[in-house]
Amino acid sequence: MNISIRTLAKQYGYNESTIRQSWVAQRGLNMSWHEELIRAWVVQEVLQPLRETDLREQMDREKLRKLQAEATQAELELAKQLEQVVDVTYLEFSLSEYFSQLKNYLRTIPQKHYLVLFESEDALQLKKKLAGFIDEVLNEIGSQEYEMPEEENEQGQVNEDTEQDSSEDPTT
Protein backbone atom coordinates (compact mmCIF):
# COMPACT_ATOMS: atom_id res chain seq x y z
CA MET A 1 0.00 0.00 0.00
CA ASN A 2 1.29 3.47 -0.92
CA ILE A 3 0.92 6.58 1.17
CA SER A 4 0.14 10.08 -0.08
CA ILE A 5 2.06 13.29 0.49
CA ARG A 6 -1.00 14.75 2.22
CA THR A 7 -1.08 11.86 4.70
CA LEU A 8 2.64 12.20 5.42
CA ALA A 9 2.23 15.94 5.96
CA LYS A 10 -0.61 15.45 8.44
CA GLN A 11 1.04 12.63 10.37
CA TYR A 12 4.48 14.21 10.71
CA GLY A 13 3.38 17.84 11.00
CA TYR A 14 5.06 19.11 7.84
CA ASN A 15 3.73 21.23 5.01
CA GLU A 16 2.91 19.35 1.81
CA SER A 17 5.13 21.66 -0.23
CA THR A 18 8.07 20.93 2.11
CA ILE A 19 7.64 17.22 1.52
CA ARG A 20 7.23 17.71 -2.23
CA GLN A 21 10.15 20.15 -2.68
CA SER A 22 12.61 19.04 -0.01
CA TRP A 23 12.03 15.39 0.67
CA VAL A 24 11.02 14.20 -2.80
CA ALA A 25 12.85 16.58 -5.12
CA GLN A 26 16.06 17.20 -3.18
CA ARG A 27 16.58 14.35 -0.74
CA GLY A 28 15.38 11.41 -2.81
CA LEU A 29 12.13 10.18 -1.28
CA ASN A 30 10.28 8.04 -3.81
CA MET A 31 6.53 8.22 -3.27
CA SER A 32 5.97 5.05 -5.33
CA TRP A 33 7.63 2.99 -2.59
CA HIS A 34 5.59 0.84 -0.23
CA GLU A 35 4.32 2.60 2.94
CA GLU A 36 6.73 0.76 5.25
CA LEU A 37 9.72 1.78 3.13
CA ILE A 38 8.55 5.40 3.03
CA ARG A 39 8.12 5.49 6.81
CA ALA A 40 11.57 3.94 7.30
CA TRP A 41 13.04 6.61 4.99
CA VAL A 42 11.31 9.40 6.98
CA VAL A 43 12.68 8.05 10.25
CA GLN A 44 16.19 7.62 8.84
CA GLU A 45 16.45 10.87 6.81
CA VAL A 46 14.26 13.31 8.75
CA LEU A 47 13.54 12.26 12.32
CA GLN A 48 16.88 10.66 13.24
CA PRO A 49 18.96 13.76 12.32
CA LEU A 50 16.59 15.89 14.42
CA ARG A 51 17.14 13.62 17.42
CA GLU A 52 20.90 13.69 17.04
CA THR A 53 21.24 17.45 16.58
CA ASP A 54 22.86 19.22 19.50
CA LEU A 55 21.09 22.56 19.77
CA ARG A 56 24.03 24.27 21.45
CA GLU A 57 26.41 23.10 18.73
CA GLN A 58 24.02 24.29 16.05
CA MET A 59 23.69 27.72 17.70
CA ASP A 60 27.49 28.00 17.92
CA ARG A 61 27.80 27.18 14.22
CA GLU A 62 25.21 29.83 13.33
CA LYS A 63 26.96 32.45 15.50
CA LEU A 64 30.26 31.63 13.83
CA ARG A 65 28.65 31.93 10.41
CA LYS A 66 27.23 35.33 11.38
CA LEU A 67 30.61 36.54 12.67
CA GLN A 68 32.31 35.40 9.48
CA ALA A 69 29.74 37.25 7.38
CA GLU A 70 30.23 40.43 9.43
CA ALA A 71 34.01 40.16 9.08
CA THR A 72 33.71 39.68 5.33
CA GLN A 73 31.42 42.70 5.11
CA ALA A 74 33.86 44.85 7.12
CA GLU A 75 36.76 43.73 4.90
CA LEU A 76 34.74 44.61 1.80
CA GLU A 77 33.91 48.07 3.18
CA LEU A 78 37.59 48.68 3.97
CA ALA A 79 38.66 47.56 0.49
CA LYS A 80 36.02 49.86 -0.97
CA GLN A 81 37.35 52.82 1.04
CA LEU A 82 40.90 52.00 -0.03
CA GLU A 83 39.64 51.89 -3.63
CA GLN A 84 40.72 48.30 -4.09
CA VAL A 85 37.27 47.22 -5.27
CA VAL A 86 34.73 48.86 -7.52
CA ASP A 87 31.06 49.23 -6.73
CA VAL A 88 29.07 46.94 -9.03
CA THR A 89 26.37 49.52 -9.73
CA TYR A 90 29.03 52.08 -10.72
CA LEU A 91 30.72 49.53 -12.98
CA GLU A 92 27.42 48.53 -14.54
CA PHE A 93 26.55 52.18 -15.18
CA SER A 94 29.97 52.92 -16.69
CA LEU A 95 29.91 49.92 -19.02
CA SER A 96 26.35 50.66 -20.02
CA GLU A 97 27.30 54.23 -20.95
CA TYR A 98 30.40 53.07 -22.83
CA PHE A 99 28.56 50.45 -24.88
CA SER A 100 25.69 52.81 -25.56
CA GLN A 101 28.19 55.32 -26.94
CA LEU A 102 29.87 52.57 -28.99
CA LYS A 103 26.51 51.53 -30.43
CA ASN A 104 25.72 55.12 -31.37
CA TYR A 105 29.11 55.60 -33.04
CA LEU A 106 28.73 52.41 -35.06
CA ARG A 107 25.24 53.39 -36.17
CA THR A 108 26.52 56.71 -37.55
CA ILE A 109 28.97 55.05 -39.97
CA PRO A 110 26.47 54.66 -42.85
CA GLN A 111 25.23 58.23 -42.41
CA LYS A 112 28.72 59.79 -42.34
CA HIS A 113 30.25 57.75 -45.14
CA TYR A 114 27.36 56.79 -47.39
CA LEU A 115 28.84 58.47 -50.48
CA VAL A 116 32.17 56.66 -50.14
CA LEU A 117 30.39 53.37 -49.48
CA PHE A 118 28.04 53.92 -52.42
CA GLU A 119 31.01 54.42 -54.77
CA SER A 120 32.22 50.87 -54.10
CA GLU A 121 32.54 48.79 -57.24
CA ASP A 122 31.82 45.40 -55.69
CA ALA A 123 30.95 43.73 -52.40
CA LEU A 124 34.60 43.08 -51.49
CA GLN A 125 35.53 46.76 -51.86
CA LEU A 126 32.44 47.76 -49.82
CA LYS A 127 33.42 45.26 -47.15
CA LYS A 128 36.98 46.66 -46.95
CA LYS A 129 35.79 50.27 -46.77
CA LEU A 130 33.22 49.44 -44.12
CA ALA A 131 35.82 47.51 -42.09
CA GLY A 132 38.12 50.56 -42.27
CA PHE A 133 35.40 52.89 -41.02
CA ILE A 134 34.52 50.48 -38.21
CA ASP A 135 38.19 50.28 -37.21
CA GLU A 136 38.37 54.09 -37.14
CA VAL A 137 35.35 54.29 -34.85
CA LEU A 138 36.72 51.58 -32.56
CA ASN A 139 40.09 53.34 -32.34
CA GLU A 140 38.37 56.65 -31.68
CA ILE A 141 36.17 55.36 -28.87
CA GLY A 142 38.99 53.21 -27.47
CA SER A 143 41.27 56.21 -27.04
CA GLN A 144 38.71 58.21 -25.09
CA GLU A 145 38.83 58.34 -21.32
CA TYR A 146 35.65 58.02 -19.37
CA GLU A 147 34.76 61.12 -17.38
CA MET A 148 33.25 60.57 -13.97
CA PRO A 149 30.07 62.46 -13.09
CA GLU A 150 30.87 65.31 -10.70
CA GLU A 151 28.97 63.87 -7.73
CA GLU A 152 31.02 60.66 -7.91
CA ASN A 153 34.27 62.64 -8.00
CA GLU A 154 33.14 64.46 -4.86
CA GLN A 155 32.44 61.15 -3.12
CA GLY A 156 36.06 60.23 -3.65
CA GLN A 157 35.41 56.98 -5.47
CA VAL A 158 37.70 57.71 -8.40
CA ASN A 159 39.85 60.75 -9.09
CA GLU A 160 41.37 60.53 -12.54
CA ASP A 161 42.80 63.13 -14.86
CA THR A 162 40.22 63.31 -17.62
CA GLU A 163 41.72 66.03 -19.75
CA GLN A 164 41.77 65.15 -23.44
CA ASP A 165 44.25 66.16 -26.14
CA SER A 166 43.42 69.22 -28.18
CA SER A 167 44.17 67.16 -31.30
CA GLU A 168 41.03 65.05 -30.83
CA ASP A 169 38.07 65.67 -33.08
CA PRO A 170 35.69 67.99 -31.16
CA THR A 171 32.63 66.52 -32.90
CA THR A 172 32.97 63.21 -31.08
Same-domain check for residues 72 and 46: no
Q: Please state, as a whole number, how many other Cβ atoms lie within 10 Å of the Cβ of residue 38.
A: 19
Does residue 15 lie within any of the structural domains? yes
Does residue 101 lie within any of the structural domains? yes
pLDDT tens for residues 114-152?
A: 788 888 888 898 888 888 888 888 888 777 655 555 544
User: Which string of DSSP letters, residue by residue, matches 66-104?
Assistant: HHHHHHHHHHHHHHHHTTSS--HHHHHHHHHHHHHHHHH
Q: What pLDDT does 161 receive?
A: 38
Does residue 47 lie within any of the structural domains? yes
Does residue 126 lie within any of the structural domains? yes
pLDDT at 67 over 90: yes
Q: What pLDDT does 147 receive?
A: 56
Per the structure, the complete domain to which residue 78 belongs is given by: 54-85
Confidence band (pLDDT; 50, 70, 90) for 90?
Answer: confident
Does residue 158 lie within any of the structural domains? no
pLDDT at 58 over 90: no
For residue 65, how many C-alpha atoms fall within 13 Å in the half-sphere facing its CB?
A: 6
Number of domains in the chain: 3
Does residue 166 lie within any of the structural domains? no
- Does this model's pTM top 0.75? My answer is no
pLDDT tens for residues 15-51?
A: 999 999 999 988 889 899 999 999 999 999 888 887 8
Does residue 142 lie within any of the structural domains? yes
Same-domain check for residues 69 and 40: no
Does residue 26 lie within any of the structural domains? yes
